């Protein structure tokens, strides 16, 4: 059964439709990519799912319970890492727990075991400005994970990193995902990234944004290191590029 379900969501701003009839679902422990061009309404969709924004039409369900317009149900990581510069990494990561009303000391203790798991050992007492971009992103992911161990929405989690760091982060991310039970939807405009990480890809194209295709990546996990150099990978890529091309040719 799907954990998270989005049913026929539409949204427009000032009469300009941004999302049209979007339906999607996320199963347990699944990693789903939402692939599309920038400005195609992906972030709007996330704002709807996270409850920050009310859709004009449609509903969002979590485990069968409607959560449309109710924030605080799923974790949401925005494009920037948004670590607070005046808090140590430890206190940044503990933030979601503090918001939920836990005591500072208890929250700090609770998060400690995860630092190792996320490869952040030793950064607890440091400030965000002292960390590299990759490490900051890890910390932001850990903070997201601390909010809900169930469902996470990641808005272009790796797009701000340089290519080399990005590829290292991909490997790290897949490894971490092996250990934790988290169902994730992530936004990306990078086809390679989507194929590399996702179990399933939704293609969001056009204006207003519509889901035009759903692609299953059947490559088993853990995936081999050089998956992105295999014929299989290229086949997926070719397929996706064709779909995007079709949409653009038919003029939306």
230 touching other proteins, by CB under 8 A: no
Using CB under 8 A as the criterion, what x/- string covers residues 40-59 for binding other proteins? -------x--xxx-------
CB 176 within 8 A of CB 169: no
Beta strand 31-35 with 200-205 is parallel
DSSP label of 228: G
86 touching other proteins, by CB under 8 A: yes
The residue among 53, 64, 90 whose CA lies nearest residue 7 is: 64
Q: What does the block give as tokens for 247?
A: 């949409």
Residue nearer to other proteins on the CB measure, 47 or 184 = 47
Q: What does the block give as tokens for 201?
A: 């890809």
Round to whole Å and give the CA distance between 208 and 223.
Answer: 34
Binds other proteins by CB under 8 A, chosen from 10, 12, 21, 79: 79
Nearest distance from C-beta of residue 106 to other proteins, angstroms? 17
Q: Scanning residues 145 to 174, which ones bind other proteins (CB under 8 A)?
A: 147
Binds other proteins by CB under 8 A, chosen from 116, 130, 149, 230: 130
Binds other proteins by CB under 8 A, chosen from 1, 14, 65, 85: 85
3-state secondary structure of 32: strand
Torsion region of 61: left, alpha or beta (phi above 0 gives left; psi -120 to 50 gives alpha): beta
How many residues at the interface with other proteins, by CB under 8 A? 26
* Rounded alpha-carbon distances, angstroms, from residue 171 to 134, 181, 222: 12, 17, 10
The residue among 56, 53, 46 whose CA lies nearest residue 10 is: 56
76 touching other proteins, by CB under 8 A: yes
Binds other proteins by CB under 8 A, chosen from 114, 127, 172, 227: 127
Binds other proteins by CB under 8 A, chosen from 63, 69, 84, 235: 84
Residue nearer to other proteins on the CB measure, 139 or 217 = 139
Q: In what order do the strands lie in the sheet with 57-62?
A: 16-27, 2-13, 57-62, 65-66
123 touching other proteins, by CB under 8 A: no
How many residues belong to the chain? 252
Q: Scanning residues 4 to 43, which ones bind other proteins (CB under 8 A)?
A: none
Nearest distance from C-beta of residue 91 to other proteins, angstroms? 10
Residue nearer to other proteins on the CB measure, 76 or 236 = 76
* Rounded alpha-carbon distances, angstroms, from residue 242 to 192, 234, 236, 245, 247: 14, 12, 10, 5, 9
Residue nearer to other proteins on the CB measure, 55 or 206 = 55
129 touching other proteins, by CB under 8 A: yes
CB 55 within 8 A of CB 9: yes
- Residues near other proteins, by CB under 8 A: 47, 50-52, 71-72, 75-76, 78-80, 82, 84-87, 95-96, 98-100, 126-127, 129-130, 147
């Amino acid at each position: 059964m799907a954990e998270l379900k989005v049913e026929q969501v539409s949204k427009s701003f000032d009469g300009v439709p941004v999302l049209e009839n979007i339906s999607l679902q996320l199963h347990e422990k699944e990693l789903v990519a939402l692939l599309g061009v920038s400005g195609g309404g992906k972030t709007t969709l996330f704002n709807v799912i996270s409850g920050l924004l009310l859709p004009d039409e449609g509903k969002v369900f979590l485990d069968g319970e409607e959560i449309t317009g109710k924030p605080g149900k799923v974790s949401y990581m925005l494009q920037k890492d948004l670590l607070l510069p005046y808090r140590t990494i430890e206190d940044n990561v503990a933030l979601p727990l503090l918001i939920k009303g836990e005591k500072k000391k208890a929250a700090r203790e609770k998060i400690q075991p995860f630092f190792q798991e996320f490869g952040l050992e030793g950064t607890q007492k440091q400030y965000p400005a002292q960390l590299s971009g990759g490490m900051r992103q890890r910390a932001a992911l850990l903070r997201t994970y601390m909010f809900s161990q169930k469902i996470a929405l990641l808005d272009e989690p790796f797009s701000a990193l340089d290519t080399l760091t990005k590829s290292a982060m991909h490997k790290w991310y897949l490894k971490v995902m092996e250990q934790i039970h988290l169902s994730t939807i992530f936004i990306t405009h990078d086809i390679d990234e989507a194929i590399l990480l996702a179990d399933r890809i939704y293609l969001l194209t056009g204006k207003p944004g519509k889901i035009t295709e759903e692609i299953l990546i059947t490559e088993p996990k853990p995936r081999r290191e050089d998956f992105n150099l295999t014929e299989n990978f290229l086949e997926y890529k070719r397929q996706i590029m064709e779909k995007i091309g079709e949409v653009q040719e038919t003029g939306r």
